[in-house]
Chains A and B, each alone.
Chain A
Amino acid sequence: MSQTTIDTTPGIPDPGAASRAAPRTTSGNLVRHPEEITRVPDLPRWGTERRRLMVRFGYVAISVALVSVALVALGDDRWTDAAGISLVAPGAGFLFDGWPILFVLTWVLFLLAWNLWVGFGSLIHLVAVYVLSIAGSIALADGPRLGLESGTSWRWAIPLAYVGAGTYVIKHLWRVSRSRKAEIATRDERNAYLASVDPDVVEQIIRSFDPPEQRASVRDFDPVGVQVDGDVLRPPLPVEDADAALVKWLLRLSMQSIESFEGWDWGKDAVEAGALRYQVNEVGYCLAYFQANYAPAYPGLLGRAQRNVISKSQEVPVWAYWYSEEVMGNFRANPDPIVGAGFQNIMFSGFLAKHLAHYEAATHDHRYDEPGSLTFTWDDGRSWSYSYPEIARHCSDAFLSSPMGMWPCEPNQIYTACNQFGAAGVQAFGALHGSDEWERVSEHYRSALDHEWMRLNGDYHGHFNRALGLNAGALTWNDGTGPMFMDGNQVIMALGRTTSPEVAARLFLIGRNAETLRVLPVVDGVMQLPPPAQAEPEGWIAKIRTRVPTYKHFLSGAWAPLEKTGYAKSNAVMYAGIADMARQFGHPDIADAAVRGLDAANFQGLDADRPFAATLPVNSLAAKSRWGRLYRADDFVCARIPRYEGPILESAPETDVIVTYANGRDDMLCLTLEPSSAPGEFPLVFGRLAPSTRYVVEGVGSEFVTDADGGASVILPLTARTTVLIRPEGDAP
C-alpha cells in the first residue's frame, strides 16, 4: 500500500457492529479431553494422505527408472546411455561422457537448488539443474572431452549410477524400517512416564488453560490498586526500565512513516531475520499485549501505533517476496499474496489473520472487517483489496481443503510452525465474530495433526512437501531417519495451545518442562542462567561465519542456522523463552524470575537502539513474556479480553512522555509516566472521568476539575518515572 502518512485517527468507528454476531468467548477451560494429555495415541505410522502421496511418488520414481533402463538397454547410442543414467542420478551422464568436472558442478548446483526448493519452494532451480544435466550429457555424448580422447565413454558410470541410486533407496528403507521399532519403544517409555506424572502437576497444567476470570492473577487484580512506598506510589503491575525501553522502542518502530523500516531487522546485519512479514506481526502482537495488560486506558496512541503496523504489513517490501516464490515455485506470475496465492503463503495471510485478531481483541475496533480495508498495491499499480473476514474465510477454506490438515507456506512446502499462527488466526476470527471459520475445520485439523503429522513416538514433524508426502529436509525422508533442523514439538507447545490444547500440554510434559522449570537456578527471585557457552569472536570473520550454514541446515533449506542472528551470542532468548513458557503454562513466579534475570544480564539501557542486543523477534518475545500477566496468547485468540470502559488518557506528548501503565475503574485512573529524555512539565488530556467533579492527582498532589463531559486537562511535572492515582474528591465547587 502506498500510504505514506501515519494514522492519526483518534476514534474507533465500528460501522459493522449492528450486523456482526456477538463474540463467541470461550468461557470454559480449553482442555476438553484431559486423558489425551497423558497418553501418546497408538496410530498408524503414516496417515492416509501421506501413504497415498508417498506411493504416488514411488510410482513416478519407478516410471522414471524404467524409462532410464529402457534408454540404456535398448538404445544403441552414447546419448541414450548418458540420458538414461542422468535420469536416475543427476549429472551421472557427464561422468559417462568423461566430464567429471561437470558431474561435480551438477551436484554443487543441485545442492544449491535443493536448498532453495526446501527453503523457498523454488522448484524452478531444481528442475533446471535436472533438465540441464540431462540435456548437457546428451549434447556432450559425442562431443569433445577435457583431457581425454574425443569419443571416450566411461561405461562404468552406468552400473555405478544405478547401484548408487538403488543403495540410496535401500538405505532409507532400511533406516525407516529399523526406526519403527525404536520409535514404538520411545512411545512406550513416554506413556509410562506420562502415566507416572504427579496428578497435581497435570492439574496445574490444565488450570493454565482456564479463562482469565478463573485465574487469580486476573480475578484479584485491581487496576488502580497502587502500592504505597513512603511518599511514592507503585503501579499495580511491575514497571521496570526494560518495560519503558520496550515501549519506547515499539513506538519508535510503529510511529515512523509507513514506508520506513528504520530500526527493523532489515539491512546488512540481518541474518534469517530479514523477513519483514514476521516482524510486522510481532510488533503488532507486542503492542496489543501492552494495551490489553498495561495500558487499556491509553487507547489513542496505542491504537494508532497498531494500525500503523498493520499499514506497514501492506507495504510492498513486506509481501513482495511472494511474487518471486510464485514464479519460481508455481510457475505463475501473480503478486497477490492472499487469494491469488491459492491455498499457499500461510506465512503471510495466516499470520496477518492472527495479527488482526490481536488488534481487534485489544482494541475492540473492527474497522478491518470493512470491505477493502486492507489493500496490497503492486509496483505496476495493480492492487488487491480484502477485509479481515475475507482473509479469515480464505484461510479457513485452505485448512478445510488440505488433506494434510495444514497448508503450505512456500509453494508446496508445509511448515508446522506457520500453520500454528494461521490456525490461531482463523480460530481468533471465529471467536471474535461468533462465526464458524474455525469450528468447520477444527475436527479435521486435529485429526490430521495426529494422523498425518505425528510420529510413532509422539513427536510431531516440522515440515512436509505437499506433493511428495515426504519431509525433504537433509536429502532424507526424515521419518526418524535424519531429522530436519526443526521439528513441530516446540511450535505446537508454544503456539498451539488453543487449537490443540491436549497436544500442547502433552508435549510440555514430554519435553520434561515441568521438572526443568522447578530446577532452574533462581537466587533471590532472579533467575541466573549461565552465559553463552562460547563468546562469538568479533570482526568481519565472525560476520561471515554467521552467514555460513551447517551442512544439515543448508540441505534443510536454511542459509544459516536459525540461532545465528548477526548479534553476539547471549542468553536473552533463553530467558525470554523460559519466561514465555512459564507464563503460558501457569508458572508466573518462574516467569517473573526469568524476566528479572533477563534484565540483569541483558538489558542495554533506556537509550540503546533496542532494549536487548538480539533480533526483533527475541525482543518481541521478551515483551510478550513480561506483559502477559493478565491476558496472554490464549486470551487474544479466544476473545477473552473484556472491552475497557473506564477513564482514559486521551493524549500526552507522544515523543516526550513514555506511558508504561494506564488503567482504571469507577471514575479512577492510574498512570505511570516518565519523561523520555529531559524533565519538564507536560500537558495531559483525560476523558471519561466523572463529569463536573473535583479530582486529586495522588502522587504529585495537584487537583483539577472535570468539565461536563468528564474531560480535563492538566500540566504534570515529571522528572522521573512517576505513578499517579487520579481519583474523584467531590463535586466541582
Chain B
Amino acid sequence: MSSDTSAQTNVERPGGDGSRAVFVVYGLLAVVLVAAGILESVQLLWS
C-alpha cells in the first residue's frame, strides 16, 4: 500500500511536501483581498 518513501525526506520540511503551492495561491488571494480593503479604506477616509 501506502508508503511513499520518496516523500519521507521532504515531509519534515514545511512546504517541502508540495503544500507550498497551496499556501502561495491562497496567500495571494488573501493579499488581493486585504490590499483591496486597505486601499478602499484609505480612499474612504480621504474622500
Does the CB pair A162–B37 fall under 8 Å? yes
Instruction: Please tell me if the beta carbons of B40 and A159 are within 8 angstroms of each other in the complex.
Output: yes
Give the complex CA separation of A180 and B20 in angstroms: 13
Contact between B34 and A51, CB atoms less than 8 A apart: no
Distance between B21 CB and nearest chain A CB, rounded to angstroms:
5
Top-7 shortest CB links A-B: A162-B37, A166-B33, A58-B25, A44-B17, A163-B37, A450-B2, A166-B34
CB of A177 within 8 A of CB of B30, answer: no
A61-69, A390-398, A581-589 - interface stretch: A61-69
Closest to B7 in A: A44
Within residues 1 to 36 of chain B, which ones have a CB less than 8 A from any CB in chain A?
Answer: 1-4, 7-8, 10-12, 14, 17-19, 21-23, 25-34, 36
- A46 at interface by CB-CB < 8 Å: yes
Q: Which of these, A44, A66, A160, contacts B32 with CB under 8 Å?
A: A66
Determine if B7 and A43 form an interchain contact, defined as CB atoms under 8 angstroms apart: yes
Q: A41-B2, A45-B11, A155-B44 are in contact. Are A169 and B26 (CB under 8 A)?
A: yes
* A451 interface neighbour in B4, B25, B32, Cβ under 8 Å: B4
Q: Which residue of A lies closest to B1 (CB)?
A: A446
Q: List 21 A-B contacts (CB under 8 A).
A: A36-B1, A43-B3, A44-B11, A44-B19, A46-B22, A51-B19, A54-B22, A58-B25, A58-B28, A58-B29, A61-B29, A62-B29, A68-B36, A73-B36, A159-B36, A163-B41, A166-B30, A166-B31, A169-B26, A173-B23, A177-B14
Complex Cα spacing A559 to B38, Å: 39
Question: A42 CA to B19 CA in the complex, in Å?
Answer: 15
Q: Using Cβ atoms and an 8 Å threshold, which residues of chain B touch A55? A: 21-22, 25
Residue interface bits A157-173, CB-to-B below 8 A is 1, else 0: 01111110111011011
Q: How close is A417's CB to chain B, nearest CB, in angstroms?
A: 20
Measured between C-beta atoms, what is the minimum distance from B17 to chain A in Å?
A: 4
B25 and A450 within 8 A (CB): no
In the docked arrangement, what's the CA distance between A500 and B40, Å? 54
Q: A59 within 8 Å of B by Cβ? A: yes
Task: Name B1's contact: one of A33, A59, A170 (CB within 8 Å).
Answer: A33
Contact check, B36 vs A65: say whether CB atoms are below 8 A apart: yes
Q: How far is the CA of A68 from the CA of B32 in the complex (A)?
A: 10
Q: In the complex the two chains form, what is the Cα distance from A55 to B29 in whole Å? A: 11
Chain A residue contacts of B14, Cβ below 8 A: 177, 180
CA distance A46 to B44 in the complex (A): 41
Q: Which of A418-475 contact B (CB under 8 A)?
A: 443, 446-447, 449-451, 456
Interface presence of A273 (CB below 8 A)? no
- For B7, the chain A residues whose CB sits under 8 A away are 42-44
- Chain B min CB distance to A162 (Å): 3
- State which of A58, A73, A163 has its C-beta within 8 Å of the C-beta of B26: A58
Interface centre among B2, B26, B32 (most CB of A within 10 A): B2
> Does B3 contact A159, Cβ atoms closer than 8 Å?
no
- Which bracket fits the contact residues of A? 35 or more
Is A156 interfacial (CB 8 A cutoff)?
A: yes
Which of A33, A162, A449 sits near B40, CB closer than 8 Å? A162
* A326 interfacial contact with B, CB 8 Å: no
In the complex the two chains form, what is the Cα distance from A42 to B12 in whole Å?
Answer: 9
Q: Are A163 and B33 in contact (CB under 8 A)?
A: yes
Query: Is the CB–CB distance between B44 and A159 below 8 Å?
Result: yes
Q: How far is the CB of B35 from chain A (nearest CB, A)?
A: 8
Q: Are B30 and A173 in contact (CB under 8 A)?
A: yes
- List chain A residues, Cβ under 8 A from B4: 41, 43-44, 451
- Chain B residue contacts of A500, Cβ below 8 A: 1
For B25, list chain A residues within 8 Å (CB): 54-55, 58-59, 62
Residues of chain A within 8 A of B34, CB atoms compared:
162-163, 166-167, 170
B5, chain A: closest CB distance, angstroms: 9
Residues of B within 8 A of A (CB): 1-4, 7-8, 10-12, 14, 17-19, 21-23, 25-34, 36-41, 44
Interchain pairs with CB closer than 8 A, number: 129
Task: For A40, give the chain B residue with the smallest CB separation.
Answer: B2
Residue of B nearest to A442 (CB): B1
* A410 within 8 Å of B (CB atoms): no
A72 at the interface (CB under 8 A from B): yes
Whole-angstrom CA separation of A220 from B23 in the bound complex? 59
Cβ of A502 < 8 Å from any Cβ of B? yes
Identify the closest chain B residue to A156 (Cβ).
B44
A45 near B17 with CB under 8 A, answer yes
Report A456 CB to chain B, min CB distance, Å: 8
Is A88 on the interface with B (CB-CB < 8 A)? yes
List chain A residues, Cβ under 8 A from B37.
158-163, 166
A residues near B22, Cβ cutoff 8 Å: 46, 51, 54-55, 58
B11 shortest CB reach to chain A, Å: 5
* Interface core residue of A46, A48, A88, A166 (most chain B CB under 10 Å): A166
Which residue of the partner chain B has the closest CB to A450? B2
Q: How far is the CA of A543 from the CA of B3 in the complex (A)?
A: 49
Q: State in angstroms the CA–CA spacing of A177 and B1 once bound together.
A: 28
**Cα–Cα distance between A51 and B7 once the two chains are bound (Å):** 15
Q: What's the Cα separation between A668 and B18 when bound, in Å?
A: 66
Are B40 and A43 in contact, CB atoms less than 8 angstroms apart? no
In chain A, residues 149-198, which have Cβ atoms closer than 8 Å to a Cβ of chain B? 155-156, 158-163, 165-167, 169-170, 172-173, 177, 180, 184
**CA–CA, A446 to B1, complex, Å?**
6
Check if A46 sits within 8 Å of B19, measured CB to CB: yes
Complex: how many Å from CA A369 to CA B8? 46
| Contact present for A170 and B11 (CB under 8 Å) | no
CB-nearest residue of chain A to B21: A55
A502 to B3, CA, bound (A): 12
Min CB–CB distance B32 → chain A (angstroms): 5
The docked-state distance in angstroms from the alpha carbon of A161 to that of B37 is 7
Q: What chain B residues lie within 8 Å of A503 (beta carbons)?
A: 1
Contact of B18 with A446 in the complex, beta carbons under 8 Å: no
> Is B11 a contact of A42 with CB atoms below 8 Å?
yes
* A45, B32: Cβ atoms closer than 8 Å: no
Residues of chain A contacted by B19 (CB below 8 angstroms): 44-46, 51
A177 and B12 CA atoms in complex are apart in Å by: 13
A69–B30 Cα distance when bound, in Å, is 13
CA distance A59 to B41 in the complex (A): 25
Chain B residues within an 8 Å CB radius of A180? 14
State in angstroms the CA–CA spacing of A446 and B3 once bound together. Answer: 10
Residues of A within 8 A of B18 (CB): 44-46, 48, 51
Q: Are A62 and B1 in contact (CB under 8 A)?
A: no
Contact of A165 among B2, B3, B33, B41 (CB under 8 A): B33
| Complex CA–CA separation, A61 to B26 (angstroms) | 9
By a CB distance below 8 angstroms, the chain A residues around B30 are 166, 169-170, 173
Q: How far is the CA of A54 from the CA of B18 in the complex (A)?
A: 12
- Complexed CA–CA distance, A399 and B41 (Å): 50
Q: Which residues of chain B have C-beta atoms less than 8 A from A156's C-beta? A: 44
Q: Which of A566-595 contact B (CB under 8 A)?
A: none
Residue of chain A at shortest CB distance from B22: A54
Q: A36-B1, A43-B2 are in contact. List 19 more A-B contacts (CB 8 A).
A: A36-B3, A42-B8, A43-B7, A43-B11, A44-B4, A45-B17, A51-B18, A54-B25, A55-B25, A58-B26, A58-B28, A58-B29, A61-B29, A65-B32, A65-B33, A159-B36, A159-B44, A162-B36, A166-B36
Given contacts A42-B11, A177-B23, contact A69 B3 (CB under 8 A): no
